[in-house]
Amino acid sequence: MESVLHEDRVFNPPESFRKTAHINSMEAYREMHRKSIEDPESFWGEAAGSLHWYRKWDRVLDDSEAPFFKWFVGGRTNICHNAVDRWAEGDKAGKKAIVWEGEPGDQRVLTYADLKREVSRFANVLKSLGIRKGDTIAIYLPMIPELAVAVLACARIGAVHSVIFAGFSAESIKDRVLDASSKMVITGDGGWRRGSVLPLKSVVDQGVRECDCVEHVLVVPRNPGGERMECEMQDDRDVWYDEAAATVSDDCPCEEMDAEDLLFLLYTSGSTGKPKGIMHTVGGYGVYTYLTSKYIFDLQEDDVYWCTADIGWITGHSYIVYGPMQNGSTVLMYEGAPNHPDPGRFWDLVDKHQATIFYTAPTAIRAFMKWGDEWVDKYKLDSLRLLGTVGEPINPEAWMWYHRKVGKERCPIVDTWWQTETGGVLLSPLPGVTPTKPGSATLPFFGVDPAVLNPAGEEVSTGLLAIRQPWPGILRGIWGDAERFKQTYWCNWDGKYYFPGDGARRDDDGYFWVVGRVDDVVNVSGHRIGTAELESVFVEHSNVAECAVIGVPHEIKGQGLVAFVLLRGTDADGSDELRKELNNLVAEKIGKFARPEKIIFSADLPKTRSGKIMRRLLRDIATGNALGNVTTLADPGVVESLKKKYSS
């Protein structure tokens, strides 16, 4: 592995920011970090003490069955109580919890008192439809307040939520619903995206056709109290949320949960064809998202915090809902596209709602750069005090643009590295402390002890990222597949380190530079897509004999997908029609966002003599790099013909 990035600019936290930050000196960070590593029991015990527990834990960490770690063993709590009730009854009852804007410009505000009422009512509707603690519920909603409300309502009564990003196809819904045996699907009559309405309910109808486990589909109207959008309802199964809500009380006590009870499943792509249900539990995830939000976003009483992710991904779970709300923060939520009605929309939202913290993905930043400075220059953005990025490595050029154009050279940038599996951020600057370098996620958060290793387990400057000891937010497993959990994350280095699947470099200051995945997972616009997943979709087509999908650098998306497709019979060229069919198949089986940039039809693929496709060579072809070693190829001529096809 090679890291070609050399960046030596350093940006210190502005003095004005440092002065009021929760943590404001490198010495304090180092001391807290040392303590968190040497004595995790007392560090995390203290952190958890800021939250509400019905019963205090007996032990902070039980690692006797590693890698199946348990945190806050014996403790009983409820994360919805911590995120909502704690604020709804005190002097923050009137504080804004959610400030929401729809794509067409409609707005809603929920105070913490409103949120408690809405969540309780939602929870009572779930109960009235037979949902009990431990049941799993799939949620397929647009970015409307009810998405956050539904998630919190599940947590309130101990139902396990499995949120499915509303861009996934019917087939993906089916796979996830069946894998988790979800008893209910919560969806909506529609949501706005780039000026059109997403027909969510009909996608769900198609998705659950063969899912006998689903007893009810609960349909939330996009416009509460207003006009409903057109959708078909099935008498014995489908229920309008507003009608059910009218008949229940808005008082619903929180269920006392064991710290290790399952809070949610979230499916993510790995290096096999089947997405995996990542398991997170109540106590550890709660404490970890609470503390990371507090320190990494330096949340203060009057912040208006905006994370642009969708709640359908882990970023939205941890840093729209659970983290900021457990800190009693005001969260801005936006339904639609960043360039609707024009590419100034995000900046208009920042000014209009006076957002102080803005957290987005590098792919969005690169899109803004492409749309032109005039859109961002039109707005003041003077409410902003902190910026963040997540989802993929940020190129220094995009970092500098973000720093100058959005942050006006005044706002620190926290480049946060983490994953669905880690529950919360593991590597990030602390904004009042850490000198930042464009492109580096800098240093570990408390309790995180990372290293860069070679396969033999020796520390190297560039190699595989590894995490030495567990932290409270670590995944507890893969739903229904303990073996895959062990194989995927714990098979290297005698199981002594968590292996995230990323490569990294460590510089002389000890800063981490995450360079990207080292497995067959591609990060497209911050969405994780397994190449094997796409390959298995392609080979379902009767004309396709074999296929290899690779990730290639992409100017806006970070990475794009290229599929090399070997057709059955003698047809080596494929038609545009077939290309369309394959694209449609991907949209149908996974979702539109997973469609490849390019499909190359070929009569052959470069293979070793034992028949293994040499993806490394395909990558060289796609990136125009000098070809690596071709001596092991069964037929070296294949590469030349592919090169010609790729560039034509």
Residues that bind ligand PRX (CB under 6 A): 268, 314-315, 390-393, 415-420, 441, 500-502, 514, 516-517, 523, 528
- Long-range residue pairs from 531-534, CB within 8 A, at least 24 positions apart, any chain: 531/271, 531/561, 532/271, 532/272, 532/273, 533/269, 533/272, 533/273, 533/274, 533/275, 533/590, 533/594, 534/561, 534/563, 534/586, 534/590, 534/594, 534/596
Q: Residue 623 corresponds to which amino acid?
A: T
Nearest distance in Å: CB 439, ligand PRX: 9
Residue carrying structure tokens 């953005």: 381
Nearest distance in Å: CB 168, ligand PRX: 13
The answer to whether the CB of 614 falls within 8 A of the CB of 608 is yes
Nearest distance in Å: CB 271, ligand PRX: 12
The answer to whether the CB of 129 falls within 8 A of the CB of 218 is yes
Nearest distance in Å: CB 389, ligand PRX: 6
Helices (H), 12-72: 15-20, 26-38, 40-48
Closer to ligand PRX by Cβ: residue 357 or 565: 357
Closer to ligand PRX by Cβ: residue 24 or 269: 269
Task: For residue 598, give the nearest of 637, 642, 543 by alpha carbon.
Answer: 642
Closer to ligand PRX by Cβ: residue 138 or 524: 524
The tokens for 297 are 């976003």
The answer to whether the CB of 351 falls within 8 A of the CB of 379 is yes
Residue carrying structure tokens 């499943």: 265
Nearest distance in Å: CB 307, ligand PRX: 11
Closer to ligand PRX by Cβ: residue 327 or 525: 525
Nearest distance in Å: CB 302, ligand PRX: 27
Nearest distance in Å: CB 361, ligand PRX: 8
Give how far the C-alpha of residue 495 lies from the chain's centroid of Cα atoms, to the nearest Å: 25
Sequence-distant (6+) residues with CB within 8 A of 267 are 162, 164, 176, 179, 275, 276, 277, 278
Nearest distance in Å: CB 503, ligand PRX: 9
Closer to ligand PRX by Cβ: residue 110 or 367: 367
Whether the link from the prior residue into 67 is cis, omega within 30° of 0, is yes
The tokens for 93 are 């009852």
Where is 413: in which H helix or E strand?
strand 413-416
DSSP designation for 592: G
The tokens for 237 are 């199964």
Closer to ligand PRX by Cβ: residue 402 or 418: 418
Sequence-distant (6+) residues with CB within 8 A of 223 are 106, 229
The answer to whether the CB of 470 falls within 8 A of the CB of 476 is no
Closer to ligand PRX by Cβ: residue 67 or 500: 500
Nearest distance in Å: CB 313, ligand PRX: 6
Nearest distance in Å: CB 84, ligand PRX: 24
Interatomic CA distance for residues 385 and 370, integer angstroms:
24
Nearest distance in Å: CB 579, ligand PRX: 28
Closer to ligand PRX by Cβ: residue 180 or 254: 180
Closer to ligand PRX by Cβ: residue 120 or 363: 363
**DSSP reduced 3-state for 544:** strand
Closer to ligand PRX by Cβ: residue 281 or 416: 416
Task: For residue 279, give the nearest of 491, 489, 57, 44 by alpha carbon.
Answer: 489
Closer to ligand PRX by Cβ: residue 524 or 599: 524
Closer to ligand PRX by Cβ: residue 280 or 528: 528
Closer to ligand PRX by Cβ: residue 441 or 547: 441
**Dihedral sign, CA of 243, 246, 250, 251?**
negative
Nearest distance in Å: CB 129, ligand PRX: 31
Nearest distance in Å: CB 196, ligand PRX: 26
Interatomic CA distance for residues 116 and 628, integer angstroms:
60
Nearest distance in Å: CB 306, ligand PRX: 16
Closer to ligand PRX by Cβ: residue 81 or 528: 528
**DSSP reduced 3-state for 362:** helix
**DSSP reduced 3-state for 110:** strand
Interatomic CA distance for residues 284 and 290, integer angstroms:
10
Helix axes 145-157, 112-128, angle to 10 degrees: 60
Helices (H), 320-479: 323-326, 345-353, 362-371, 373-377, 396-401
Nearest distance in Å: CB 622, ligand PRX: 19
Closer to ligand PRX by Cβ: residue 405 or 517: 517
- The residue nearest ligand PRX at its CB is 420
